[in-house]
Every structure is written in structure tokens, then in C-alpha cells.
Structure 1
């Protein structure tokens, strides 16, 4: 009798388990076979390494339920970096590690990081991304059809050219400098007397090679990985005028299609990949380890480090741009950023 009761009890439990199992199978069936991750740069750039690592960690932490393929070169939007965020909101892209510069035309507050000479060093940058300012920006992004998960880093943008050393604002006069597609960058270089030329990174490299443009501004990791010393860029100035944080995000529609367990796995993967990517982007360019800078100089590049007084001259020349864009970004947000940076000094 007991065995019959046990049998019926087991059958009842099995009957209850079947719908749950089917529901789980249905949920898994709703997942895409592959999710598209957009980045501007692939490996060996830290940006691309970070994207590859995020995809790897997601597969590992979800036990293969979520498979991600990285599409570097913003190839999902035909290489137009400024269209990436819009494509993410429209569903053409599932996930991205995006540049605050490239997304700033759609999210004006992200121009904060491009205010000339706001952040003097990595400590100041961390005070923003890892503090209340970073949280405010993530809250803002969360209202725009994406789920931000972690801050990565493309780095401080240093300037190089093929003509001569840049030590003062007047040294930029007339130089044709490739810049990203942001009005703030056009304003900044125009204020310095340069001739800013907007173009994608894919177009910039051949333009530097042929001399169609004289110079460019980018993080040192890009200078090395893209072998810009071989493209005539023999004069490099470390001025740290702006930094370019990266944002690990998932389309909100895609995010909502995942289970809570997988959402947290993807978030944990983003945080880990971002931390590794930031460390890689700073490798060889710090006071404790300047090996990357030495390797650049060894390639015959004249490396100029601005003194505090020299940097002040550039700050003064771009102050009108800073003030103009503070109004557009939001005076309160800029004030919060300045306060956070000062508190960390």
C-alpha cells in the first residue's frame, strides 16, 4: 500500500515538473542563437580585447545559454561610429562596448568627458566613472532603451602630427587634425587654430599615410597598435586634454528577454571584463610603468610632456569652449564632476 502511495506521489510530482521543464525549454528557445556585440576596435586594441573577453565570460557564466559574437569596426552600422547608439536602440545591435564620444550626439551629457582639460589624470577619471557622476550617467542611459553595466576605458587622448612638436596653442595653427564626429571636438580644435577634419577611424589611417591629414588625437594604446609612427606621426604631445570612457551595455529589449539568473551573469561578466580592459588600457603609461612610452620613443617619435604652465596655456585657449559646452551638458552635472575631482586630489 505504501509503495502504491509512493508511486502515485512520484507520478504527481513528475506531472508538476513537466510544465516547469517545458516552460524552461520554452524560455531557452526564446533566446537567440547568437547575440551581436558592436565595438569600434577589435584585437589587439584593449577595446577589442575587452569585447572578446566579455563574450567569453558570458558564455562561461551562462553555461553556454548566451552566445555572443563581436563585430569590430562598427561593421553593423557600416563603420559609422556615431550611428551605433541609435542602432542599439532600434534593435540592429544587441550589445555594445561604446565610446562616450561616439554616443554623445544622442546623449549630450556624455560630452562631459570631452570637456577640454576637465580631468587631469586617471584618478580624476575614476572619481567620475566610479562615483556619483557615473551612477547619474548610468541612470540617464537606462532611460534610453539600454542597460548600462560597467565602465571600460579607451584612455586619455594625446595628440600627434607629422610636421613639428606641439608645445603651445600656436603650434596647432593650420594643422589638419583628424577628429571624431563630435561638434565639441570641432569647436576645441578650431579654438586652438587647427583645421579639424571629421572622419571615421577606418578612413583616418590611409589619410595619415598619404598626408591628407597632418595629425590625430587618440589614446597611446591606439597609437602603438595602429603603428602610427609608421604613418608619419613622428611628433607626439602628452597633454591629456580629454579621456574616453567606454560603456558596456545591452539593449533593454534583449536584456528583458533573459532570465534574472542570466542577467546577473552577463552583468558580472561585464564588470570583470571591464576591469581587465581598463588595466590593459593603462599598461605601460603610468608613473610606475612607462614601458609603452619608451617603446614609442624608440620608434623615433619625439615625445613632448607639457609642463603645468604649458598646459595652462591650452586650458586658457579652450576655456570659451568649456563654458559653451557646460551649458549644453548641464551646469549641475559639470559642477558635480568638478567637485568629485577636487575631492579626490
Structure 2
């Protein structure tokens, strides 16, 4: 009996050692540090998305997975358009990326840049948290990355140095800096503006000197960048497009982690995404919209469009919407329109 107990004890020890060895072997493939790419760093909501995610992962994996932030897409010399390709190639391990920046590689991501598709935050949520979001994640997975959660860079509002913008006519001939996407160029051209695609590094002196009249960006950027010091005296909140963010991991990196750690990283991304969305909307969803008051406090005229005024912009950009719908995918756009129509406001 004693001999049998000894054998059972030895067997239990052997099993424990084997389990430990398997776990240790799996973790021996882990990197000492993982590179996470971001366009913006803290204290912006986008930058905080990366920091919150990295901190959660380190704590919940007890230091097995350590993540270092690389804001300014510094891993690829600041070229935002190369981020998705670099992620697939393994130059970047992880990212919280922009649907706008990744749309040249994943055409379905142009959905969120269709002019005036999403009239409110509930509409964004209806897409990212519903079947449309799942469809896009399936597409990203096929493209070679592991998508985990959604964040948000917010609605892109327009500012300028010339006059309040209340109608498309107010934009006629206005030279406006836009992101490097053909869809954005088409949208602003349809409104009679002169869209100019340039990096933000080039845009800042151009705005300050008056070589460029205006720009479009999420409003949380206005005080961060001190746009009022670059001649931006007029802001219009028109909500023409929003830019959801996506938390992703390179597939080889993902497959190198244990299933338990994969589950931790996924849940941390979901939790970080929820926190980040709240940060991105702060000051805009409250009844008194304190962020608009802060911007007005810089001596800036803030114009909020009436439904009728907004409708004039919708009508003017509808040909662009219809032109790009087949590129995004007719079925996907139809599904998005139905989800938005059925949303709970």
C-alpha cells in the first residue's frame, strides 16, 4: 500500500512537472517586450487606449506580456498609411489603429468615412457593436491580423480661419487640409472646397501662416493642438464622419501566446476600448457640452448645425456616398443603414 501511494505521488509530481514544463515552454517563446503602434500618444483618448490596454495586460498576465507604446507611428517613420502592412509583416506586434488609415488596405473600412452615414453616437455603436462590426472583424482576420475590440477617435469636425460654416456655399473655394484618402477628397470637392492632402507636420505651419484656411479633426484635438493659435477661429460641428479605432494583434504573435493569455489580452482590449470610447466622447455627450464651451473660451465661434442645415450637406455629398458604396460593398452598406435605422437613441 505504501509503495502504491509512493507511485501515485510520483505520478502526480510528474504530471505537475509536465504541465509546468509545457507552460514554461510556451512562455519561453514570449518576447521580453511587445511593440504597440499608435498615431497619437497620451493624454489623447487614442493614446490612452494603448496605455490602458498595456497596463491591464501587464497586470492581468502578472508580467508575462509587457507592451511598449510607440506613438507617432514611429515604428514606420510616421507613415500612417503603412501601419497595417507593417502589422501583417510583423514589423509591428500590436496596434490601436484608425479605420481611416487602414482603409487603403481594407476597403470595407471606408464604410465609416461615407459622408453623413452616422448621425449620432448611437449610430456608431449600432455598427461597431453589431453584425457590421463582426463582418469587418472577419474581413480583418482574413487579411492577416487578429481584431479584438473597438475604440473611437471621434467625429471629425471642421474648423477654419475665414467664416462660420453653416451651408455648403460657405465652403466654396476654402482651402482645407484633409487626410490622405480619396474619399475625403471627393467629399470636400463636392462641397465646393479645395481639399489639400498633407501630413499634420506640414499642416501646422500652413494653417498658422494662412496658406491653408482650415482642417477637420476630432474636437478633443482642438485644445491639445492649440488650433486657435493657428488661425482657427471658426468651428462647425457637423458630424460628417467618425473614426472608430480597432485593437489588433499580429497573427504570429497571437499564436505564440497560450489560450489563457489570449483570453486575457482579448478581454483587456474590450475593457480598454469601453474606457477609451468614454474618454473620446467626454465633453460632447453631456447636456451642456463642456468641450464646446472650452473651445468657445479661446475666442472661437462654435456653430452647431440645425437638422435642416445639416440636411443641405447630406444632399450635397450624396453623389459621393453613392459613388463609394460599391467600393465599400453594397451589402455591407445596406446592412449598416438598417442597423442605424433600428438603433436605440
Q: Is the 8 A contact 1:177 1:213 kept in 2?
A: yes
1:1-345 pair list within 5 angstroms: 2=2, 4-344=3-343
1: CA distance between counterparts of 2:50 and 2:163? 36
2: CA distance between counterparts of 1:10 and 1:342? 64
Aligned length: 344
Question: Which stretch of structure 1 is more off in the superposition, 200-209 or 87-96?
Answer: 200-209
Q: Is the 8 A contact 1:79 1:202 kept in 2?
A: no
2: CA distance between counterparts of 1:259 and 1:48? 27
Q: Is the 8 A contact 1:283 1:289 kept in 2?
A: no
Deviation, structure 1 residue 205: 2.5
1: CA distance between counterparts of 2:22 and 2:137? 33
2: CA distance between counterparts of 1:146 and 1:155? 23
2: CA distance between counterparts of 1:311 and 1:14? 71
Deviation, structure 1 residue 15: 3.5
Structure 2 residue runs without a partner (length 5+): none
1: CA distance between counterparts of 2:123 and 2:150? 14
Deviation, structure 1 residue 59: 0.5
Please give the secondary structure, in 2, of the residue aligned with 1:323. Answer: helix
2: CA distance between counterparts of 1:37 and 1:75? 10
Q: Is the 8 A contact 1:62 1:265 kept in 2?
A: yes
Please give the secondary structure, in 1, of the residue aligned with 2:244. Answer: strand
Query: Which deviations, in whole Å up to 9, do the C-alpha atoms of 1:170-209 show, x marking residues without a partner?
Result: 2112222111111100111111111111122333223322
Q: TM-score, normalised by structure 2?
A: 0.96
Question: Which stretch of structure 1 is more off in the superposition, 279-288 or 10-19?
Answer: 10-19
2: CA distance between counterparts of 1:289 and 1:274? 25
2: CA distance between counterparts of 1:82 and 1:39? 12
2: CA distance between counterparts of 1:289 and 1:74? 35
Q: Is the 8 A contact 1:157 1:220 kept in 2?
A: yes
Please give the secondary structure, in 1, of the residue aligned with 2:72. Answer: coil
1: CA distance between counterparts of 2:301 and 2:148? 39
2: CA distance between counterparts of 1:211 and 1:232? 7
Please give the secondary structure, in 1, of the residue aligned with 2:151. Answer: strand
Please give the secondary structure, in 1, of the residue aligned with 2:196. Answer: strand
Deviation, structure 1 residue 298: 0.7
Q: Is the 8 A contact 1:145 1:253 kept in 2?
A: no
Deviation, structure 1 residue 24: 2.0
2: CA distance between counterparts of 1:343 and 1:5? 67
Deviation, structure 1 residue 287: 4.3
Please give the secondary structure, in 2, of the residue aligned with 1:151. Answer: strand
Question: Which stretch of structure 1 is more off in the superposition, 312-321 or 200-209?
Answer: 200-209
1: CA distance between counterparts of 2:183 and 2:97? 18
Deviation, structure 1 residue 211: 2.5
Question: Which stretch of structure 1 is more off in the superposition, 260-269 or 211-220?
Answer: 211-220
Structure 1 residue runs without a partner (length 5+): none
Please give the secondary structure, in 2, of the residue aligned with 1:118. Answer: coil
Question: Which stretch of structure 1 is more off in the superposition, 239-248 or 202-211?
Answer: 202-211
Deviation, structure 1 residue 27: 1.2
Question: Which stretch of structure 1 is more off in the superposition, 311-320 or 101-110?
Answer: 311-320
